[in-house]
Amino acid sequence: MSRTEESIRAACEAILKERKSSDFFQFHISKHPVASYKNAKRGKPSKNKENKQVAVVTDHFAVELVLNQNQLDIAFDRCGYLFSTFMAQILNDFDPPASIIPGACGSP
C-alpha cells in the first residue's frame, strides 16, 4: 500500500481525534527520500558488457509527536483538587473496600 503525506496526516488526525487528545499533541511529518539502484535489465548481468543501473527513489516518512504542555497543564488545573486526591489514593494509600476483596464477606 502506497502511503502519501496526506494519507499519513489524515491517519494521525483520526487517531488523535479518536483518543480525544488532539488538543494536547501536535505532530510533524518529515519525508526522507531514499535512493537505491537496480539493474536496468532483468537477469544475470553479462561479463562482457557494462552493467547499466537505474536509480529507484522511495519515500520514507517519520512522524514526530510533540506534547503541548501548556494545554495539558490547563486540563490538569480544571480537574483541580479531586484529581490530585484521586491519584494519591491510587498511587499511595488506596485501601479497597472489603466487598471487592476476593474471599471477604464469605464470597468465594
> What is each CA distance from 45 to 38, 39, 41, 53, 67, in whole angstroms?
11, 8, 8, 10, 52
The whole-number mean pLDDT for each consecutive block of 10 residues of the chain, a chain of 108 residues, reads 82 92 91 92 86 92 90 76 59 52 44
Q: What is the pTM of this model?
A: 0.60
The length of the chain, given as a count of residues: 108
